[in-house]
């Protein structure tokens, strides 16, 4: 491991002071994420029996290439479901954006670019029709290939855009998720992690993931009859109305590497 990771390895004394080791790891994650992710390891999560901790942290702060006017942000209704509506701070602007109506995904796809010389990172919004299974259909059909086809089919056009201003933080226990993905044997005593150490039996016991995103007028730090957006119309409006007033999927996407840097679903301020 020393040959592979060099300076990325740090030796901590789990046996004598596991709490000090936990604090050191938490501080490293907090430093890398500029204070956004704190206390990823809770008290008691490490013990004298701990042999290794694999920690990964990433941070992205992007400013919109064309910012929203904060004075135009106002309270509007967000339809979390046909039975539940709430008010959100809705940002709005008109401008030219890369847009596609993708029949395969069953959603409108809009690209909101971030500023920066040479950067090709954008926030991609996938907005399905406001139906009970609209978002589930998108998630079932979304693959790297289908996403790339949707982006390639996009054309620049004038858009009347409305997007909620939001911030949320989530923590996930990854073991059940990894088990459903078919890699749960990593956490079994029969797993072979001999490549980590020639002298110690290494076993993974747990995995956690914590993520936070803020979206506001400056950028990101990540069926009711009154709904103004429909999936298809025989005569498209000019400009196109792209009103994110019901659940949608968002991605922070790097076009150069074709990599999703961050992904999330917004279902409303309480979801």
Q: What pLDDT digit, counting tens, does each position of 59-84 carry?
A: 778 888 889 999 999 999 999 988 89
Question: Between 16 and 184, whose confidence is greater?
Answer: 16
Average pLDDT on 244-268 reads 90
Whether residue 3 has pLDDT greater than 80: no
pLDDT at residue number 26:
87
% of the chain with per-residue pLDDT over 70: 89
Query: What integer pLDDT is reported at residue 118 of this predicted model?
Result: 59
Span 223-237, average pLDDT: 33
| pLDDT for the residue numbered 139 | 92
pLDDT beyond 90 at 46: no
Q: pLDDT value at position 235?
A: 41
Residue 47 pLDDT class (50, 70, 90 cuts):
confident
Which pLDDT score is estimated for 226?
25
What pLDDT does 225 receive? 25
pLDDT at 229: 30
Domains in the chain, CATH or no CATH each: 18-60+168-213 (3.30.497.10), 70-165+236-266 (2.30.39.10)
| 219 Ramachandran zone, left/alpha/beta (phi>0; psi -120 to 50) | left
Per-residue confidence band for 86, with pLDDT thresholds at 50, 70 and 90: very high
Q: pLDDT tens digit string along 93-117?
A: 999 999 998 889 999 999 998 887 6
Question: Sorting pLDDT into bands at 50, 70 and 90, what band is 146?
Answer: very high
pLDDT score for 178: 81
Compute the distance between CA of residue 222 and CA of residue 255 in angstroms, rounded to an integer.
16
The more confident residue out of 1 and 158 is: 158
Using pLDDT thresholds of 50, 70 and 90, give the confidence band for residue 228.
very low
Q: 56-60, 213-217, 226-230, 258-262: which has the minimum mean pLDDT?
A: 226-230
Q: Say what the pLDDT of residue 93 is.
A: 92
Looking at residue 110, its pLDDT comes to 94
C-alpha span between 12 and 10 (Å, rounded): 6
């Amino acid at each position: 491991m020393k040959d592979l990771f060099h300076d990325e390895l740090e030796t901590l004394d789990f046996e004598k002071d596991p709490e000090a080791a936990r604090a050191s790891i938490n501080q490293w994650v907090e430093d890398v994420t500029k204070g956004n992710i704190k206390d990823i390891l809770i008290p008691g999560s490490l013990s004298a029996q701990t042999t290794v901790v694999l920690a990964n942290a990433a941070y992205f702060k992007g400013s919109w290439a064309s910012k929203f006017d904060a004075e135009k942000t106002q309270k509007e209704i967000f339809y979390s479901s046909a039975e539940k509506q709430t008010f959100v701070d809705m940002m709005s602007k008109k401008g030219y954006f890369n847009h596609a109506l993708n029949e395969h995904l069953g959603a409108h796809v809009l690209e909101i670019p971030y500023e920066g010389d040479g950067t090709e990172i954008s926030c991609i919004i996938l907005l399905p029709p406001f139906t009970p299974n609209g978002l589930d259909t998108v998630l079932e059909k979304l693959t790297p290939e289908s996403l790339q086809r949707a982006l390639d089919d996009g054309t620049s056009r004038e858009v009347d855009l409305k997007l909620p201003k939001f911030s949320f933080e989530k923590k996930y226990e990854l073991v059940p998720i990894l088990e459903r993905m078919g890699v749960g044997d990593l956490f079994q005593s029969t797993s072979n992690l001999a490549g980590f150490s020639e002298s110690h039996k290494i076993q993974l016991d747990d995995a956690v993931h914590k993520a936070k995103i803020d979206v506001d007028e400056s950028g990101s730090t990540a069926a009711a009859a009154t709904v103004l957006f429909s999936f298809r119309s025989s005569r498209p409006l000019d400009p196109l109305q792209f009103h994110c007033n019901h659940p949608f999927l968002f991605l922070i996407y790097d076009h150069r590497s074709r990599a999703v840097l961050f992904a999330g679903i917004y279902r409303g301020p309480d979801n």
